[in-house]
Amino acid sequence: MKNWLVLLFVSGLLMACSHSENESTEVIKTKISGNWQFRQADSSQWHPATVPGTVHTDLLANQLIDDPFYRLNEKQQQWIDKMDWEYQTNFTISNDILRKQHIELVFEGLDTYADVFLNDQLILTADNMFRTWRIDCKPFLKAENDLRVVLKSPIKIGLQKLNDLGYQLPADNDQSENGGLGTQRVSIFTRKAGYHFGWDWGPRLVTSGIWRPVNIEVWNQARIDDVQIIQNQLDNDNANLTMVAEIKADTTFPASLEVWHQTNLLSNQEVQLLAGSHFYKINFDIKNPKLWWPNGLGEAFLYPITLKLITNKTLTDTTHTDVGLRTLRLVREPDADNIGESFYFEVNGRPVFAKGANYIPNDIFLPRVTPRHYEQVVQAAADANMNMLRVWGGGVYEDDLFYDLCDRHGILIWQDFMFACAMYPGDSAFLENVRHEAIDNVKRLRNHPSLALWCGNNEIENAWGPYDENRGWGWKQRHSAAERAAIWQAYDTLFHHILPQVVQQLDAKTPYWHSSPSAGMGKLAGHDTPSGDMHYWGVWHGQHPFSDFKKHKARFMSEYGFQSFPTMASVARYTEPQDWDLDSEVMTAHQRSGIGNQRIRAYMEQDYVVPQDFEQLLYVSQLLQAEAIRTAIEAHRGAMPYCMGSLYWQLNDVWPVASWSGIDSYGQWKALHYAAREAFKNTVVIVDQTDSLLRFNVVSDLAEPRKAVLQMEVLNFDGDTLFNKNIPITIPANLAQEVFAISTSEILAKAKPIVAMISARLIENDQEIDRALHYFVSPKEMQLPDPEITLDVTKTKEGLLIALSTNKLVKNLFLMHASDESHFSDNFFDVPAGERKEVFVATNISVEDFRKGLRIMHLKETLKK
């Protein structure tokens, strides 16, 4: 969010402009990104290194280890986290820079235990991956400088902390056995990403490294340390805001603060800067404001606002902030019967049904995530009609770019603090470390209009079960009464006091929710709790049928999910042909939910004929997953306004694996992501079948009701129309509503369920705004025909257009291409007999070459022996 004048670090030489101090006093920020080396601490051999980076990625780049993601290589690399490592570089400082009043060395991210030496002087000891570390280094600088960072093993330090505590804190997702530690789970002692220690969708690769940029910042007289934008008043005519600037100055002297929107001066205030760090308020107005809206409800409009600090008519420092004007509330109001309470986000006065997914880091090795990766994943969320992502608490507080992109695309952020599925220490040093971590990140993220909620942790309250001896995950029962008391005291201090106090002090406008799921303070969330948010894992972990998604309707469903495998093209990138069996050692190693492969097969047997062919099995697993999540989303949206949120687990992956993701680690959309895009459209028709009745429900997120026609047909798989009816309806505003019902027996009077389907279209002004295809029986009960598919490919300005037609129903048509870069605008779709389907591909491949690499698969093919 903050832009500085940047000078380049070239060949180890810090280049300074040839000007005197009187000509410019602007802050200079320079990255130290070149000429780095690393070594194992007890080795004399140095190797080239990349900063930002990690030990693992530097070992990989130097061909000292094999790709950790390939086959079983992860197992061979568990020694790395038990070693200490050193990084070093050297740089030259010009005399002009050395004469500056302030020179600071800034580490934006150190992973995790690090001693920093400048010219052999210890200047920093760091112990938190999530904090920014700033050191006044001027006293230690010379013209020629050596910078060395000693990274200590998080495992060795964790084991010492475990020994000092004297008992094991619950941390069940820590895969200590895979790391050779037996049951010694040490992840909770270290303020670093929990998923590095393993999870039920990720490997155990415990990194160390300089994972975010290292900068030298140079300034004279004064600098802007931070800004906060406070929105005081907002209506159609005017937005009144206050910018609170934290400015550090050497002495007391006059200055000017100017607030600009592009080339328009919004406010100019003369101030007397005081020596030290102080806060200064500047009020300004934006006339006829445009609002920031979540995706699908309006434009996510941003105002680029710049603050300039002027001293002696010279620009001293400047910051840039994109401001989104909007109001936001977490609405928790008692129901009329006082049994439960609402839980929904209201933006600009409108209740918003939250549509989205849980987001995890994009790689186990965080510095490998490029701007393009961030752009792809946020764009994919927006393209799937999502308006919220939950940044889960076992990962990291993401890079600024991620939140900038969410601002631009209208993606609200549910932001967990980085605590998940474990109990944490309660000593004063740990708690104070976390407090500083929270301050750093709340200040960094609070100006983003996408930020909707701070949440204390993921699943810890429900796991411990503090309010009921018979609730929880069995953690309490592992401990003595004295240990229980100490563990709960640490939890209470951290999540009920420290974190909410930091949020209240630094970002009071953003709501704080202490744990997810929760029914509220003093109440535990359950499958049918009438308040708070819910994580429903009856489907999958509890082996409940998909239909149970319709039984358990929370006020806000913040987690639920179902697994699938990546496609064959993705699996082939990390395996060999001899591994292509679900029970192979490699496929088992890339399935971190112990019962996962068996669970997928068991669910598949209920609704599908389980293919014998490995590639087809992967494909059908994705159909199964898509159907699970579609069923859930429709149940949640159909319960609107009682239920006002549906965030499935999970959007993305950290490595190639069988998981709950809708986008695999190579960026390939699974069937789930395409299905979610359809289920999350602003207006949808849902067909709900019971034994005796078919109900047609319409859901709309839009602000105004609309007139439309529900066109309902019963078709057989050969394309014959067996029943049809047009029903004029009113699409409700921001609501779910049943618009038509008919008896199943009437619908099926002329149709056989095993060869029939319902087509339900919503038509407004002769335009189709949604279509649902509903089948009467499960896929394994259908008598699918052998279709003749005609496929035509033509060149367009942007890529290729594929036109498909068929003489009989094609179920779940999957388009594949030899180039993994080919992204299809739609996939895994049904094409009823006699209909035409167009799919676009953004590619530079010629029509002829594209045809050569194109393959298709559909469900009927999986039934052939």
pLDDT 10s digits, 546-586? 999 999 989 999 999 999 999 999 999 999 999 999 999 99
Average pLDDT over residues 427-455: 99
Q: Write down the pLDDT at residue 468.
A: 86
Q: Write down the pLDDT at residue 53.
A: 98
Rounded CA separation 426/204 (Å): 26
Structure tokens at 552: 């358990």
Q: Write down the pLDDT at residue 290.
A: 99
**What radius of gyration do the chain's Cα atoms show?**
29
Provide the H-helix boundaries in 45-99: 55-61, 95-98
Q: Write down the pLDDT at residue 25.
A: 61
In this predicted structure, the answer to whether residue 518 has a pLDDT above a threshold of 90 is: yes
Per-residue burial over 373-392, b if 16 or more Cβ lie within 10 Å, else e, is: bbebbbebbbebbbbbbbbb
- Phi, psi (degrees; rounded to nearest 5) at 606: -70, -35
Rounded CA separation 233/272 (Å): 27
Q: Is 63 left (phi over 0), alpha (psi -120 to 50) or beta?
A: left
Residue 439: which H helix or E strand, with range?
Answer: helix 428-445
Instruction: Give the residue from 439, 102, 436 showing the smallest Cα distance to 249.
Output: 102
In this predicted structure, the answer to whether residue 57 has a pLDDT above a threshold of 90 is: yes
Average pLDDT over residues 761-786: 97
Q: In which order are the strands placed within the sheet that holds 721-731? A: 721-731, 706-716, 756-764, 767-775
8 A C-beta contact, residue 723 and residue 750 = yes
Bridge pairing between strands 354-359 and 645-648: parallel
Tell me the whole-structure pTM to 2 decimals. Answer: 0.95
Average pLDDT over residues 819-825: 83
155 vs 594, residue with greater confidence: 155
User: What is the tens place of the pLDDT at every residue in 459-479?
Assistant: 999 999 998 888 999 999 999
Q: Write down the pLDDT at residue 10.
A: 32
8 A C-beta contact, residue 697 and residue 736 = yes
Instruction: Give the residue from 368, 507, 366 showing the smallest Cα distance to 438.
Output: 507
Residue 110 sits at the vertex; the CA angle it makes with 108 and 116, to the nearest 5 degrees, is 100
Structure tokens at 480: 């003595």
Average pLDDT over residues 137-153: 98
Q: Write down the pLDDT at residue 539.
A: 98
Helix (H, G, I), strand (E, B) or coil at 59: helix
Residues 6+ positions from 375 with CB-CB distance below 8 Å: 405
In this predicted structure, the answer to whether residue 815 has a pLDDT above a threshold of 60 is: yes
User: What is the tens place of the pLDDT at every residue in 98-125?
Assistant: 999 999 999 999 999 999 999 999 999 9
Structure tokens at 821: 């870069």
Confidence of residue 2 (pLDDT cuts 50, 70, 90): very low
Q: Write down the pLDDT at residue 561.
A: 98
Average pLDDT over residues 488-502: 99
Rounded CA separation 136/102 (Å): 7
Q: Write down the pLDDT at residue 1.
A: 41
Please tell me what DSSP assigns to residue 126.
E
Query: How many Cβ atoms sit within 10 Å of the Cβ of residue 515?
Result: 26
CA distances from residue 854 to 394, 664, 812, 824, 848 in whole angstroms, order as listed: 39, 20, 16, 11, 10
Average pLDDT over residues 680-698: 96
Q: Write down the pLDDT at residue 26.
A: 82
In this predicted structure, the answer to whether residue 678 has a pLDDT above a threshold of 60 is: yes
Q: Write down the pLDDT at residue 624.
A: 99
Average pLDDT over residues 223-240: 98
Average pLDDT over residues 434-445: 99
8 A C-beta contact, residue 158 and residue 62 = no
8 A C-beta contact, residue 688 and residue 780 = no
Q: Distance between alpha carbon 634 and the CA centroid of its chain, in Å? A: 22
CA distances from residue 459 to 422, 517, 559, 561 in whole angstroms, order as listed: 8, 6, 10, 15
Q: Write down the pLDDT at residue 192.
A: 99
Query: How many residues in total does the chain contain?
Result: 865
In this predicted structure, the answer to whether residue 22 has a pLDDT above a threshold of 80 is: no
Q: Write down the pLDDT at residue 49.
A: 98
In this predicted structure, the answer to whether residue 852 has a pLDDT above a threshold of 50 is: yes
- Phi, psi (degrees; rounded to nearest 5) at 630: -60, -45
Q: Write down the pLDDT at residue 553.
A: 85
In this predicted structure, the answer to whether residue 5 has a pLDDT above a threshold of 80 is: no
Q: Is 479 left (phi over 0), alpha (psi -120 to 50) or beta?
A: beta
Average pLDDT over residues 282-298: 98
Q: Write down the pLDDT at residue 6.
A: 31
Q: Write down the pLDDT at residue 467.
A: 87
In this predicted structure, the answer to whether residue 789 has a pLDDT above a threshold of 60 is: yes
Domains with residue ranges and CATH for the chain: 5-215 (2.60.120.260), 221-323 (2.60.40.10), 683-781 (2.60.40.10), 789-863 (2.60.40.10)
Q: Is the peptide bond before 425 cis (omega within 30 degrees of 0)?
A: no
Instruction: Give the residue from 175, 205, 194, 201 showing the smallest Cα distance to 591.
Output: 201
Please tell me what DSSP assigns to residue 420.
B
Average pLDDT over residues 126-138: 98
Confidence of residue 528 (pLDDT cuts 50, 70, 90): confident
User: What is the tens place of the pLDDT at every residue in 341-371?
Assistant: 999 999 999 999 999 999 999 999 999 999 9
In this predicted structure, the answer to whether residue 3 has a pLDDT above a threshold of 60 is: no
Q: pLDDT > 90: what percent of the chain?
A: 93
User: What is the tens place of the pLDDT at every residue in 696-742?
Assistant: 999 999 999 999 999 999 999 999 999 999 999 999 999 999 999 99
- Phi, psi (degrees; rounded to nearest 5) at 634: -65, -35
Q: Distance between alpha carbon 809 and the CA centroid of its chain, in Å? A: 37
Q: Write down the pLDDT at residue 865.
A: 60
On average, the pLDDT of the chain sits at 95
660-666: which pairs have CB atoms within 8 A and are 24 or more residues apart? 660/201, 660/561, 660/562, 660/563, 660/625, 661/201, 662/357, 662/384, 662/629, 663/377, 663/380, 664/566, 664/567, 664/570, 665/69, 665/363, 665/566, 665/570, 666/566, 666/570, 666/573, 666/820
